[in-house]
Amino acid sequence: MDIRERLKHSTSITPFQRRVYMELLNIPAGEVITYGELARRIGCRSAQAVGQALKRNPFAPEVPCHRVVAADGSLGGYFGQRQGAMIERKRKMLADERG
């Protein structure tokens, strides 16, 4: 079953998380968008709510939450972390995707 089908049928995520994760699949490898832009794309007014959904992403990295960055262009968070090993992992995944 492909990832879109797994997301559609998952009982371990909320409908809001499903909308966030489905939209993440539309971000091409090597590209990034902001939390606010992702929120706008799904009709949500809260970048923080999107960030919380990404923090709980059980499908990462297949559902690429690492492609979402802060409005100021910084990496933002990754799995709830703003520094350390997880941010370095996010940085490496983005670099690898960009070639």
Q: Write out the catalytic residue numbers.
A: 65
- C-beta separation of 66 from 96 below 8 A: no
Alpha-carbon Rg for the chain in angstroms: 13
- C-beta separation of 68 from 38 below 8 A: yes
